Amino acid sequence: MDYKNHIAQKLNIEGVSTEEIQSFITPTPSQDMGDYALPCFRFAKALRKSPVAIAEQLAGEFVTDDIITDVKAVNGYLNFTVNRMGFCSATLKSVLSEKQNYGSSNEGNGKTVCIDYSSINIAKPFHIGHLSTTVLGSSLYKIFNFLGYKAVGINHLGDYGTQFGKLIYAYKAWGDKQTVEKEGLKELTRLYVKFHEEAETHPEMEDAARAYFKNIEQGEQSAMQLFNWFKELTLTQIEKIYDLLNVKFDSYAGESFYNDKMQPVIDELKAKNLLTESDGAMVVDLSAYDMPPCIILRSDGASLYATRDLAAAFYRKNTYDFDKCLYVVAYQQNLHFMQIFKVLELLQKDWHKDMVHVSYGMVSLEDGSMSTRKGKVVWLEEVIEKCIEKCLAIIDEKNPNLENKEQVAKQVGVGAVIFGALSNNKIKDIVFSYNKVLNFDGETGPYVQYTAARCSGVLAKADINFEDYTLPNKLESCEYELIAHLSTFGDTVKAAAEKYEPCFITRYAIDLAKLYNKFYFECKILTAEDKNLVKFRLALTKAVRITIENALSLLGISAPERM
């Protein structure tokens, strides 16, 4: 039963559509206020009346029925009371019948959303700073798919630039095949750092590196071979981490993919008189918009990061015909994306309004050891491995006889990292702390996973079929609160997509786990007074397990059966 829709259908507000009314209705924070509320200040301007007067008038006109049993005007709000039993029974029924689809929708059917995330740089460390873009983007990818959109996950690889010339130089000077093959990215990083150290006293190395890069640009065979090898090495190593984190992409078209796709952009900029010369470079002047110029071609004719992003935007529109194109990139690049989107607008691409920079804050490690300078790097893989190890130690202490300990430690360790990274509004800077993300009693992934395992434990102990459960005549308040929270899952997923905030889902999961644990301690489940009550509480437990699982899966986290 869609109560909001039912309420909205019954309201008549001049100049406001039913959909709009429905979007303003929210569940109330406390039961004394009824179950749903409509804030009438939303209509004050259109109706030129005070919210209080509007609420009173609407309350007077509203005809209650057997679904909405009461309506009251309170301080400019309309508060609705629903038929609780009907509401609870309908909610439980939908969770139990829709199972892994509970909370999904088809609102996005026929629409495509491109999501550019992780977008790592080849031959550079995959460090803790990449955690947010990777898990935020991946979660948005899963959320949009769950809502019926076709999401396209794009890893816009940083596989172009003078740094590859430097790397070839360093490899030829100090590297060898075996070490690179064995150590992978670590060795490539070491070589890269060494280049910079040496170049300080031997500036002529920079010219040699530039020459190597020119070779790559011209497709010279031996340079290409090395470059492709570095790329392959990076990708194989990084895919292991993506697998651990349940992250997937549909395309790895990176910067070099656009080598032959920039000319049409440049031509169009010229044709529309948007290119001007500045110190030999070709730029789009953005001074009228209080922004520095967007550089398209350097004075030596080389293209830039921005040129490639413009070509990529054209390519994505042509290839995927997206309805939205998201860039999950740190706030350091706010200006870059403002420039790109402005240039698209000046090019009269009406789809410039569909481009969104999903900007997020920085991640650092608690002990402050995150400093990429001097090659001192906090490798993401090591952070994840360490979390898994610490998790195994906790399990060894708390539940030493657990089967598949390693497997569970992996699920929980990874869950802790992802959940920790998605716990706050994305724009906030976060300080990563092992103890914090691994605290089984805190607002963490392990806490939520533990609650899901608790549900499974209860269900495993039940030797009764509860499919024919019925609702008791009166619900305990913790039962009602739990069901009411279950009913808001779909809205939470929608809101997370709308605001690009997976943290709405982590928050939801924490609240659901807390409510279930309260119920678990306050109400007897398997030993309840009568058989019907046992069945109902088992059904409720099952519904909670399903919903936690769905919420976690949208974050890329699995829910172990036992832990």
- Residue 33 has a CB neighbour count (10 Å cut-off) of 16
Would you count residue 549 as binding ligand ARG (CB under 6 A)? Answer: no
Rounded CA separation 373/539 (Å): 55
Backbone angles phi, psi at 254, to 5 degrees: -105, -165
User: Which range of residues in 49-57, 116-124, 193-201, 389-397 is near ligand ARG by CB under 6 A?
Assistant: 116-124
Contact 85, 479 (CB under 8 A): no
What is the maximum alpha-carbon separation in the chain? 86
Contact 313, 339 (CB under 8 A): no
Among 158, 165, 175, 446, binds ligand ARG (CB under 6 A): 158
Report, in Å, the least distance between residue 329 CB and ligand ARG: 5
Among 140, 180, 329, 551, binds ligand ARG (CB under 6 A): 329
Report, in Å, the least distance between residue 255 CB and ligand ARG: 8
Would you count residue 327 as binding ligand ARG (CB under 6 A)? Answer: yes
Among 116, 159, 187, 479, binds ligand ARG (CB under 6 A): 116
Would you count residue 156 as binding ligand ARG (CB under 6 A)? Answer: yes
Nearby residues of 248 by Cβ (< 8 Å), 6 or more positions away: 138, 141, 153, 242
Would you count residue 537 as binding ligand ARG (CB under 6 A)? Answer: no
Range 369-408, binding ligand ARG (CB under 6 A): none
- Tokens for 229? 């090898």
Total binding residues for ligand ARG by CB under 6 A?
A: 9
Comparison of 316 and 410: residue with beta carbon closer to ligand ARG: 316
Comparison of 87 and 360: residue with beta carbon closer to ligand ARG: 360
User: Which range of residues in 55-63, 68-76, 115-123, 421-429 is near ligand ARG by CB under 6 A?
Assistant: 115-123
Nearby residues of 270 by Cβ (< 8 Å), 6 or more positions away: none
User: Which range of residues in 28-36, 114-122, 400-408, 434-442 is near ligand ARG by CB under 6 A?
Assistant: 114-122
Report, in Å, the least distance between residue 156 CB and ligand ARG: 4
Residue among 391, 433, 432 nearest 411 (CA): 391
Among 79, 91, 112, 119, binds ligand ARG (CB under 6 A): 119
Comparison of 352 and 518: residue with beta carbon closer to ligand ARG: 352
Would you count residue 155 as binding ligand ARG (CB under 6 A)? Answer: no
Backbone angles phi, psi at 104, to 5 degrees: -80, 175
Per the listing, tokens 């170049």 go with: 199
Rounded CA separation 320/152 (Å): 8
Site string for ligand ARG, 190-229 (x = CB under 6 A): ----------------------------------------
Residue 201 C-alpha from the chain's centroid: 44
Rounded CA separation 118/455 (Å): 34
Contact 153, 187 (CB under 8 A): no
Among 89, 105, 121, 145, binds ligand ARG (CB under 6 A): 121
Rounded CA separation 362/337 (Å): 18
Would you count residue 159 as binding ligand ARG (CB under 6 A)? Answer: no
Contact 560, 446 (CB under 8 A): no
Report, in Å, the least distance between residue 230 CB and ligand ARG: 15
- Residue 526 has a CB neighbour count (10 Å cut-off) of 14
Range 273-312, binding ligand ARG (CB under 6 A): 309, 312
The contact set with ligand ARG (CB under 6 A) reads 116, 119, 121, 156, 158, 309, 312, 327, 329
